[in-house]
Structures are given as structure tokens and as C-alpha cells.
Structure 1
Amino acid sequence: MSNSDILFARNRVFAETFPASDLPIVPKLRTVILTCVDARVDPAHVLGLDLGDAVVIRNNGGRVTEALIQEIATLAFMVKKMDGDKPGPFEVVIMHHTQCGAERFADPEFQMAIKERIGIDVSGSAISNHEQSIRDDVAKLRDAGNVPGYAVVSGAIYDVVTGALTEVVAPSELGQTRPA
């Protein structure tokens, strides 16, 4: 039996007990969670999410990239259009974690090996200090003109050993933190 067979069998059990519901397109918590692809960091488990609660975007290190900024700007625009004239709340939670593989990307030799072997520059995903990386990612969102100022952004570190989440950047509206 392959892993795909196992996953499809699990889905059959899930589908049998799936509650008939009409989940809205806009997540109930009106929140986007950005986190790492690491299998130990599943926001549904870590944050107690149910289907339809939040949009979850995962990449190496849970880092804010240009592609992520475009995704968030597009989602915010879509939600605003669905809200009408008065946009409702829209939040982004950046969640990094301890023992992250992206810490290896901070090694210049490892960066060079990846670039030489597969042609990918991982320097933008490198993490050498989790708290500073979160602050840098919040700043990237703050400085992105296409992400609306009413978006509330926060950042935290998840400890893969204890299961605890530690706030690094308190929730605040981007418009309140942008330079005049």
C-alpha cells in the first residue's frame, strides 16, 4: 500500500462523516496564516482551526515573499469586494517555528550549493534569528503598498518541542505602522 492509498482511505472516512454545510468563501476568522511547510507545524492542530476558519499559506520558513505579498493583496481585494463599501476586518498571522529547516539557509555555503545545484536563491528564506525574521516579514507587509492599511498583522514563534506559541509582534493595523 502506498502513502497515497493511505491518504485516500483516510479521506473516505472523512467524507463519510463530513457535515453537510455551506462554508463561506470568506474565512470565518477573516484571517490568513502564513507558516512553514514543516510537517510538525500544522496550523489546524496548533491553533485549533476548523474547516473554513482561516486561509493557510505555507512556504519554506513561513517567510513573506513577493509572491506571498501578491497573494495577500489579492485576497484582501477579493474580501473587500465581497464586503461592499465598508471592508470588514482582515488579519495576517505570521507563524515561524523553532528548529526550522530554513535556519540552514542562513549558511552561505548551503545557499551556494542550492543555487549551483538547482538554481534557486534561498537567501530570502534564511532564518538566523526568528524574532528578527518575524519583524522583517511584518515590515515587508507594512511596506507593500498593495496590502491595505486596514489589514491587522501579528507574528509569533511556535515551539515544536513544547507546543507553545509566543507572540513576537502584537496585532496592529498596517496603516498605523506605515510612515506618513
Structure 2
Amino acid sequence: MSTHNELIARNARFAATFDRGDMPILPQLRTLIVTCVDARVDPAHILGLDLGEAIVTRNNGGRVTKAVIEEIVTLTVLVGAATGGQESAFNIVLLQHTSCGAQRLADPQLQGMLQQKFGIDVSEYAITDQAADLMTDISRLANAPGMPDAMTVSAMLYDVATGAVQEVAPVKSLAEYRAANVDAAVPMAE
């Protein structure tokens, strides 16, 4: 059986007992998780999430990129419009992991090749020190226009060898992070 056919068969089993078609569009936990594309890192398994509880966005390294910021701001506006202007802030969880392939993006030769061949600059998203990189990502959120003060953010590091998460940054509102002046990190490139 091909992978495609296996996935279709798995969906048929899922759909046979599916009874949650009336779930609301807003995630029950009002949570948005930014994490890595790595197949070993599935927030539903790691954090015990159920269908409809959280929004998950993934990219190389689970970094806060310009695209991630644009997605969060857009979601905030859409949720605000859908709820008649009610509070539209999410709880943002930044979830990186050990043994991440994005650590290779710190290699100047790889950076040069990606820049030269494809015009892709990965230098500011390379993972060099996960705790510091997560704080940089919090800074990017705090300094991004359109992010509500009430938006909360926290950061965790998942250990792929043990299955445990370690809290790197506690839950705080962006207003608290702004007041603490987290803007010492590298600003987002245009």
C-alpha cells in the first residue's frame, strides 16, 4: 500500500466515528503554538491537545518569522471581527526542540549556499542557543506592530530524547514583556 493510500485509509477510520462537526472555529484554549516542522514534534502528542483546542503553525526551527507575525496579527483581526470586537488576543506558546535541524542553518557555508542559489537569507532564523533564540522570538512578538498588549506568550523547549518540556520563559502578557524592555534582541529584518 502506498503512503497516500495508507493516509486515505486512516482518514476513513477517523471519519467513521467522527462526531465533532459542530466544533467552534475558535480554539477552545485560545492558544496558538509556534513550533518546528520536525515530525518528532507534534504538539497534540507532546502537550496532550485534543482536536479544536489550539492552532498550530509550523516552520523550520519553530521561529517567529515575519510570516508568523503576519499570521498572528491576521488571526487576531479575524477573531476580533468574528466576535464583534471582543478580546481577540491569543495565548502564544513558542515550542522549540532539542536536536533541531535548524541548528545547521548557523553554518555560514550553508547560509551562503542558500543565499547564492535561492536568494534565501536564513541567518536570523538559525538556532544557535535555544534559550536566547526563544527570547529573541519573544522580543520579535513584543516589537511587532499590531500585537495586542493582552496577548500572552511563553516559551518551552521539548527534549526529543525524553519527551519532557522545559519552561524557558513563563507566561507573560506582551505588555509585561514590553515593560521589561525585551527589545534588546535583534529586530526583524524587512
TM-score (norm 1): 0.94
RMSD of aligned C-alpha atoms? 1.5
More moved, 3-12 vs 133-142: 3-12
Instruction: Give the Cα separation in 1 of the matches to 2:176 and 2:82.
Output: 24
Output one character per residue of 1:20-68: Cα deviation in whole Å (capped at 9) or x when no partner: 4411011000010000000000011111111100000000000001111
Counterpart residue type for residue 109 of structure 1: Q
- Give unmatched runs, 5+ long, in structure 1: none
Correspondence 1:15 to 2:15: yes
Q: Is the 8 A contact 2:91 2:152 kept in 1?
A: yes
Aligned to 2:165: 165
Structure 1 Cα separation of the partners of residues 115 and 86 of structure 2: 46
2:111 and 2:90 map into 1 onto residues whose CA distance is: 35
> What is the distance in 1 between the residues matched to 2:132 and 2:22?
40
2:97 maps to what in 1? Answer: 97
Paired residue secondary structure (2:33) = strand
Alignment of 1:136-147 (within 5 A): 136-147=136-147
Matched, 1:119 2:119: yes
Gaps of 5+ in 2: 182-190
Q: Report the identity percentage.
A: 49
Does the 8 Å CA contact 2:106/2:126 hold for their aligned counterparts?
A: yes
1:29 corresponds to which letter in structure 2? L
String of CA shifts for 1:98-142, please: whole Å, max 9, x gaps.
000000001111111222233322112200100001000000000
Contact 2:35–2:58 (CA under 8 A) maintained in structure 1 = yes
Residue pair 2:76, 2:89 contacting (<8 A) in 1 also:
no
How many residue pairs get aligned? The number is 180
Indicate how the Cα distance of structure 1 residues 65 and 88 shifts in structure 2: closer, same or farther if over 3 A, else same: closer
Q: What residue in structure 1 maps to residue 36 of structure 2?
A: 36
Counterpart of 2:147 in 1: which secondary structure? coil
- Scaled by the length of structure 2, the TM-score of the pair is 0.90
